[in-house]
Each structure stands twice: as structure tokens, then as C-alpha cells.
Amino acid sequence: MTTHSDDRQFWDAAAARFDDEPDHGLRDPRVRAAWAARLRSWLPAAPSDVLDLGCGTGSLALLAAEQGHRVTAVDRSEPMVALAREKLAGTDARVLVGDAAEPPVTGRFDVVLVRHVLWALPDPGGVLGTWARLLRPGGRLVLVEGRWGTADPVGITADALADLAAPLGGAVRIEQLGHDRELWGRPVDDERYAAVVRPAIRPQRHSEIVDVHLILRRGDEVLLARRANTGYADGLLHAPSGHLEDGEDVRSGMIREAREEIGVELAPQDLTAAVVLQHRAPDGGARIGWFFVARHGVGGEPVNREPDKCSELGWYPLDALPHDMVAYCRAALDAYRAGQPFLLHLHEKGDAIAYDPAGPHRAVPLTAPAVPGSRP
């Protein structure tokens, strides 16, 4: 171990020799067998989904994959990741570059496995909460840690780790490992242990904001509003829209938003649902967007009722929409024209909010492919 565990450059430089330590490279069959046996006892029955954070060269990830688990491994050091990818080639494991404190993963796992990383992270207590929220119900954290050295020790004691894990509730089982020389390839006299933490906190039920959007049609044209001073997508054209209020149904919300934003008084029978999409801004959470169609003329002439948030209203041809639009709105209108009612539009970090005809194209239709048997 080292005193520099949180230093990215240190780990980049250490990668090439990292596996020289017996417990890192697991080159000695006895050491390897000792870790394999311990790991098997800490993990649930295979196959399970294991997330190995701060995976280094991927030695434990490989053992987990060999034991039949579906492994995702993450490390912040690109040289470490390159070596892990080499080591895990031939398995189904994925190896990603990313921060263990904010893993670049979606979905949930049965196990978050972390060896010799937690102690050096800036907020180990906070990070345990993050990891617990990545677990499925019944999932576990397997944390292999220690307090290395005797004169000037670094690391985290088992007692301190148990205190950090206490807010998660549930059970913490500590297994001391220092006495098992097979694990280290030599005798050690400092504290080394594994903590298997089964948090009691339930993953929070997923919730999303719902927003409603109006496709107000005047013949072949659609009404768009140019956003201003809102902090989101300002300067871009967007369908008149807003969030649902607590307890509101989507059609009532659409009627309210049409009144508030453009002064159009719609009745329920004036609205037809046309597109529903799950959309995500480049830096935001996902939302569910409903798009309703109404005909121009019913409910009165639209006027800009929110000039502090909207610099202009305008009519645009549906079959030649402008480019300076919010990308997901553009995708929804294109889907509407194509008769495609359901889609995903999930931006990746770094994407622009504005539509770009050159892409990236994030729209994924969700209804059956037009040709049976064809790929979506």
C-alpha cells in the first residue's frame, strides 16, 4: 500500500509494476487460490452483477468473472484500466474509466466490491451512501481495507469503517485477514480485513419530473416559443411547455400550461396525446415528456403571456423545422411527423442542448420495428 492512494498521477505511474506485489497480481497460485476462496465466500451465488470500483489492474474483477459473475470494473487511472482490459479480455467484464466516488454506471448491482480504495477517498462516509444506492435490494458492499504499516500507518481501521457504515443500517460483518499469510504471500503484522456490509436502506423508488408540451398546429405549421432568461436552453425554440404540478394529470397540466404561456383556453377534447418520450438533459436527470396536439383556432389566438421567459412566438413548417431548437423537442416533433409515439432521447454528458443536424442523434424509437423481425 501507499500513502498516495488518491493521487491519480501516482497510480498512472504505478500501474506497470502494480502486479509485482503478490496480493495485487495474484501470480502465485497459492495467493490466487486464497483470494479466490475468500471472494467466493463474500459474493452471492453466481451469476450476480458485481461492480468493482478502483479496480486497478483488474485482479479481483478477473476472479469474480471466473467465478461466473457479470463484472463491471471502474478505475480513474487510464494505464490501470488498460491493464485491466488486457487481463479481462476473453471475459464478459466491462472496464470503464471513471471516478469510484461517482461511478459512470447506470442500473443497480448485487455487489459493490472495493479493495484498498475507500480509505483514500476524500469523503469515505458519503461515498458509502452513494455505493449503497447502487445496490439492488438485498445487495452488499464488499470492502477490503486495512491500516498499513506500523510506524506511520495509513488506511482505515475496521472499527472506523464500521462507524462509517453505521448510518446505512443493516449488518456489517468484519473478517480479519492479517493472520492469513496466503493472502499476502508473506506474514504481515498490521490490520487487514474485509467488511461485508448489507445496508438496510432501501434504494429510493425512482421518480421523474413530468413535463407537458403543446404541438399547436396551424395547417402544416407548428407554434414554437423562443426561450429567454430561464437558465435552460435560452435562445432556442421550444414547444410551449411546463412541469406538472403535484397531483395534476397530464391533460389538465397541458390545459393549464397552454393558458399560462400562450393564453389559449383548451378543453380536454381539444387535446390528443401524440408523443411520450423519456428525455434527459446533458447535465440533468431524466424526465417524462408528453406532447399533445391541438388545432389553432380553438381556444383563441396565442399570445406571449410570459415575455420574461419567452422572447417570441412564431409559426414554423412542420416539415422544415428550424435548427435552433431544443434537441429533444425537435426529436419529438420529428417522431410525431413519423407517427412514432414513444421514444427515448437521453443526452450524454457534453452533448449540446441545441439540435444539431450533424448529431449526435439521441432519439431511440420504442415501438415495434416497421418490418416484423427487423432490428430496431
Residues that bind ligand SAM (CB under 6 A): 5-6, 11, 24, 54-56, 59-60, 75-77, 80, 99-101, 115-117, 121
In the complex, the smallest distance separating the C-beta of residue 151 from ligand SAM, rounded to whole angstroms, is: 20
Contact 353, 232 (CB under 8 A): yes
Q: Report the alpha-carbon distance of residue 318 to residue 365 in Å, rounded.
A: 19
Q: Report the alpha-carbon distance of residue 39 to residue 46 in Å, rounded.
A: 12
Residues 6+ apart with CB under 8 A from 51: 71, 72, 73, 74, 103, 105, 109, 111, 112, 113, 134
Q: Which is nearer to ligand SAM, 75 or 257 (CB)?
A: 75
Q: Which is nearer to ligand SAM, 128 or 216 (CB)?
A: 128
Q: Which is nearer to ligand SAM, 38 or 76 (CB)?
A: 76
Q: Which is nearer to ligand SAM, 65 or 236 (CB)?
A: 65
Residue number closest to ligand SAM, CB atom: 56
Q: How is residue 103 annotated by DSSP?
A: -
In the complex, the smallest distance separating the C-beta of residue 73 from ligand SAM, rounded to whole angstroms, is: 9
Q: Report the alpha-carbon distance of residue 238 to residue 186 in Å, rounded.
A: 66
Q: Which is nearer to ligand SAM, 121 or 183 (CB)?
A: 121
In the complex, the smallest distance separating the C-beta of residue 77 from ligand SAM, rounded to whole angstroms, is: 4
In the complex, the smallest distance separating the C-beta of residue 309 from ligand SAM, rounded to whole angstroms, is: 40
Which residue, 48, 146, 147, 57, is CA-closest to 95? 57
Q: Which is nearer to ligand SAM, 80 or 266 (CB)?
A: 80
Which residue, 44, 23, 108, 41, is CA-closest to 72? 108
In the complex, the smallest distance separating the C-beta of residue 179 from ligand SAM, rounded to whole angstroms, is: 19
In the complex, the smallest distance separating the C-beta of residue 11 from ligand SAM, rounded to whole angstroms, is: 3
Residues 6+ apart with CB under 8 A from 361: none
Q: Residue 153: beta bridge partners?
A: none
Q: Report the alpha-carbon distance of residue 64 to residue 37 in Å, rounded.
A: 11
Largest CA distance in the chain: 85
